Amino acid sequence: MVKQFKAKKLTIFLSLLLISTFVSCSKIDKETILSPNVTEDIKVEENEVKVTLEKGNSYLNDNDFANAKLTYEKATSIDKVNKDIYLQIKDKYLELTRFDDALYFVQLALNNNTDIDNMKIISDNIKSKFEITSIDKSLYEGESYTLPSELSTKINNENVSIPVTWNNSVINTSTAGTFSYLGTNKEYSRQFNATLTVVPPIVSAVVPPVVPPVVPPVVAPVIPSVVDEEHCYVKNIYKSNGKTYIDVDLVEFLRGNAALEGAIKDNNSKVGTNDDGSKFVPDSYYIRDNVHTQITYEVSQNSTFNLAEFHIYPNSSSNGTITVPVPYDRFESYIKSHINGDYRPNLCLIKFKNNVVYDVSYVYTP
């Protein structure tokens, strides 16, 4: 009986010793003890991830963004908790300034509970790079106005009209002042600002009656209109909620001596030197665009649109300085077909009254 008891104690001791030895093993020893195939399985999985990422990179380099995204998603599905996979994909997109695609995979990592604290910091950093579209509008007291339900912004370097949710969609113009509104789009993590300036209406002066014929009749003063014009690059033109809007980047179009002075002041590479040492700018014009700020204006329903004659009549001998009026649809088609690609920016002259555009004309540059 005593021998049996000692034998049991010895068996328990040896079992505990074996367990202790197993726990103290290295990762490689454990893999060897648990299964001879574990190490090989890990290597196969890592190689599959590597091959899939390289395939996604190839699609991305060929600008095949749809297949690149699908391939990268496959790579993350192989090892959902490997933070390095998400970070490599994110860096590839950031190299091409495709911030939205980069943010998508950072958010995918968060959804898979991977490196949460670090991914939140990266997510906020990417969102800070998104442009904030702003609109400015002047209104008279009592005038009705509705904030646009859609606005144009850049999504992966392309202008896209997206829905906007405003923090306060009710516009109260009963009191003069400047009022700010914040708009958001959660799907694309975008923000929009709207600044509305409400001014008192201009009331016609009341003239006391005058006994004729000593004093001629007095005509009530006409309400003045604020009229202005600016050169700009047209980024987009579109309709929303029955109204037309145009996105522009305002520029200075300088000619003659003003062009040369402006280019020299900006240290622009267009400035050349003649044989006698004097300076010049090609074609005697210079477009100054030092501040890249996109502004959205409302376009009047009665606005006129003008393109170069050779845009309409290919056989025209015009050098581009002659413009002809075109319907809105024709003008919109031209702008949208020249937004991307190798085309030069769409330089136009816009005229507006009380901050509403009533004329848009193409400006020819050699």
CATH topology for the 35-127 domain = 1.25.40
Task: Work out the percent of the chain whose per-residue pLDDT is above 70.
Answer: 81
User: What gap in Å lies between CA 239 and CA 54, rounded to an integer?
Assistant: 42
Average pLDDT, the chain: 83
Task: Give the residue from 312, 305, 309, 318 showing the smallest Cα distance to 350.
Answer: 305
Name residues whose C-beta falls within 8 Å of residue 25's C-beta, 6 or more positions apart in sequence.
33
- In the 3-class helix/strand/coil scheme, how is 280-344 assigned residue by residue? ECHHHEEEECCCCCEEEEEEEEEEEEEEEHHHHCCCCCCCCCCEEEECHHHHHHHHHHCCCCCCC
Cα-Cα-Cα-Cα dihedral of 23, 26, 30, 36, to 10°? -160
| CA quadruple 16, 17, 19, 21: dihedral, nearest 10 | 160
Q: pLDDT, tens digit, for every residue of 133-178?
A: 998 988 888 888 899 999 999 898 889 999 999 998 889 888 989 9
**How far is it, in rounded angstroms, from Cα 219 to Cα 204?**
10
What's the pLDDT at 43?
Answer: 76
Look at the block and give the residue holding tokens 């005593």.
2
Give every CB contact of residue 19 below 8 A, 6+ residues apart in sequence. none
pLDDT score for 101: 93
Instruction: Please state the rounded mean pLDDT for residues 47-74.
Output: 92
Q: For residue 290, what pLDDT band results from cuts at 50, 70 and 90?
A: confident
| pLDDT recorded at residue 337 | 86
Residues 141, 139: Cα–Cα separation, whole Å: 7
Q: Extract the tokens encoding 259.
A: 């062009």
**pTM score, whole prediction:** 0.44
pLDDT beyond 70 at 20: no
pLDDT at 165: 94
Contact 169, 147 (CB under 8 A): yes
pLDDT at 237 (0 to 100): 93
Reduced to 3 states, what is the DSSP secondary structure of residue 161? strand
**Residue 270: per-residue pLDDT:** 86
- Comparing 24 with 118, the larger pLDDT belongs to 118
Residue type, 125: N
| Rounded average pLDDT over 337-343 | 75
Measuring CA to CA, how many Å separate 236 from each of 151, 182, 267? 10, 22, 30
CA dihedral (160, 306, 293, 100) in degrees, to 10, reads 10
Q: Where are the domains of the chain?
A: 35-127, 131-224, 225-366
CA distance linking residue 203 with residue 216, whole number of Å = 22
Question: Where does the pLDDT of residue 41 fall: very low under 50, low under 70, confident under 90, or very high at 90 and above?
Answer: low
Give, in order, the Cα–Cα distances in Å from 220 to each of 163, 168, 201, 223, 242: 45, 39, 15, 9, 35
Instruction: Write the DSSP string, 31-74.
Output: HHHH-TTHHHHHHHHHHHHHHHHHHHHHHHHTT-HHHHHHHHHH
Tens digit of pLDDT for each residue in 299-311? 999 999 999 888 8
The domain defined by 131-224 carries CATH number 2.60.40: yes
Q: Which residues of 170-191 are buried (b: 16+ CB within 10 A; e: fewer)?
A: ebebeeeeebebebebeebbbb
Least confident of 166-170, 239-243, 339-343, 360-364: 339-343
Please work out, in degrees rounded to the nearest 5, the angle formed at the alpha carbon of residue 308 by the alpha carbons of 303 and 313.
Answer: 115
- Torsion of the alpha carbons at 30, 34, 39 and 40, rounded to the nearest 10: 170
How many angstroms separate the most distant Cα atoms in the chain?
Answer: 145
Task: Please report, as a single letter, which amino acid is at residue 8.
Answer: K
DSSP 8-state secondary structure symbol assigned to residue 103 = H
SS3 of residue 251 by DSSP: strand
Residue 6 reports pLDDT greater than 50: no
Helix, strand, or coil (residue 150): strand
